[in-house]
Structure 1
Amino acid sequence: MDSWQTGRFLYLALLAGALLLWLFVENRDSLGTKMKQMAAWVLIFLGVIAAIGLWSDIRQTVQPRQAIFEDQNRIELPLQADGHYYVTLGINGVNTRFVVDTGASGIVLTGDDARRVGINEADLAFYSQAMTANGAVRTAPVRLEQMTLGPITDRNVQAFVNAGEMDTSLLGMSYLQRFSRIEIANGRLVLER
């Protein structure tokens, strides 16, 4: 805990102490009832804090995930709450999350994802450009040794590393066109090869 957090904690503790002191002084005649009410509010507060702390676990349980049907070479991706389809691919053996972007012509990795999959940043040459909704961004062409999606493996796949800020890597048409069937229906994106 740094000094800023310590100061904030002490301020909140002092404020809570002052409020409790005021509560006891103002309501000394009905102190038993007030203690019950305060205990109920403390339990509500702790419940909210627990729900916030466990939200990532709850979301992983409730949120629909990609389904892989190996015997059919089919992958089904559920539509997420933000209106996008996401897919997790193995890039050089590292699970990497992509947003499916039919408006992107290629596969574009964020700088962080590129480092995670073993691309040396010093070897990148940002001499190409990509046009985005926010304007031109510099990109560096790379070759991905292996891309795996369920039972499907592709080798020596061309991709780009984005020099700009990007939250999630993009899976564009250069990869999607490798599938014999792409269908969007009933909140699911189906990929078959």
Structure 2
Amino acid sequence: MSGDDLGQMAYLIMLLVFLGFWFVGSNRQRLGKTMQQAAIWALIFVGAIAAVGLWDDIRSTVTPLQTVMSDEGRIELPRGQDGHFRATLEINGTRVSFIVDTGASDMVLSKQDATRAGLDPDNLPFFGRAMTANGPVATAPVRLDEVVFGGYVDTNVPASVNGGDMSGSLLGMTYLQRFEQITIAGNKLILTR
């Protein structure tokens, strides 16, 4: 810590001590009630910190995850709160989250996901074109060595890397057509092979 940091810390401690003395002095008549309210606020503060720290665990418990029923040959994907179906696949040994998009022709990786999967987007030939809601974007065709989804392993899978900004990857029809049946029942997308 530098001298400035120590000075700021000393100032804050003195300020807190002053405020504490003022608070206790001004509420001497109702000290028991004041301490009870201070304890309640302290518990609320600690609870908020715990909720922020445990948010990932809470979210994974509340939000249903994809289910693989290998003996029945199907994968069930729950509908997310945003209305989309999401799937987690392993691309070349790396877990990648996809939005299932039956309107997309290809399996499309974002540049970030492509990099994580061992591809080098900076050295790919972006000569393909795809039409998106935001207009045309350049794409680069690639072949993925291994794609694992549930218990299914596919090799030499065709895909594209999006040359534009993309918040996530899309699981399109070139991969989804490997399944015999795609069914939406209630809030689940069921893929059967």
Q: Is the contact made by 2:138 and 2:162 (CA closer than 8 Å) also made in structure 1? A: yes
The aligned residue for residue 133 of structure 1 is 133
- 1:43–1:163 Cα change, 3 Å: same
The aligned residue for residue 57 of structure 1 is 57
Q: Is the contact made by 2:121 and 2:161 (CA closer than 8 Å) also made in structure 1? A: no
How many percent identity over aligned positions?
52
2:70, 2:118 → 1: CA distance? 27
The aligned residue for residue 153 of structure 1 is 153
Q: Is the contact made by 1:110 and 1:161 (CA closer than 8 Å) also made in structure 2? A: yes
- 1:108–1:34 Cα change, 3 Å: same
Q: Which amino acid aligns with 1:78?
A: P
- 1:164–1:43 Cα change, 3 Å: same
- Long gaps (5+) in structure 1: none
Q: Is the contact made by 1:125 and 1:140 (CA closer than 8 Å) also made in structure 2? A: yes
Pairing of 1:1-193 with structure 2 (within 5 A): 20=20, 22-193=22-193
- Long gaps (5+) in structure 2: none
- 1:13–1:137 Cα change, 3 Å: farther
TM superposition shift of 1:19: 5.5
- RMSD of equivalent CA atoms: 2.7
Q: Is the contact made by 1:73 and 1:152 (CA closer than 8 Å) also made in structure 2? A: no
Q: Which amino acid aligns with 2:121?
A: E
2:160, 2:172 → 1: CA distance? 11
1:133, 1:9 → 2: CA distance? 52
CA displacement 1:19-58 (0-9 Å, x = unmatched): 6455334323222321121011111111111112101111
CA displacement 1:136-161 (0-9 Å, x = unmatched): 22221111111111222222111111
- For 1:71, what is the secondary structure of its paired residue? coil
Q: Is the contact made by 2:104 and 2:172 (CA closer than 8 Å) also made in structure 1? A: yes
Q: TM-score, normalised by structure 1?
A: 0.86
- For 1:84, what is the secondary structure of its paired residue? coil
- For 1:156, what is the secondary structure of its paired residue? strand
- For 2:164, what is the secondary structure of its paired residue? coil
Q: TM-score, normalised by structure 2?
A: 0.86
- 1:177–1:15 Cα change, 3 Å: farther
TM superposition shift of 1:76: 0.7
- For 1:34, what is the secondary structure of its paired residue? helix
TM superposition shift of 1:82: 1.2
TM superposition shift of 1:111: 1.0
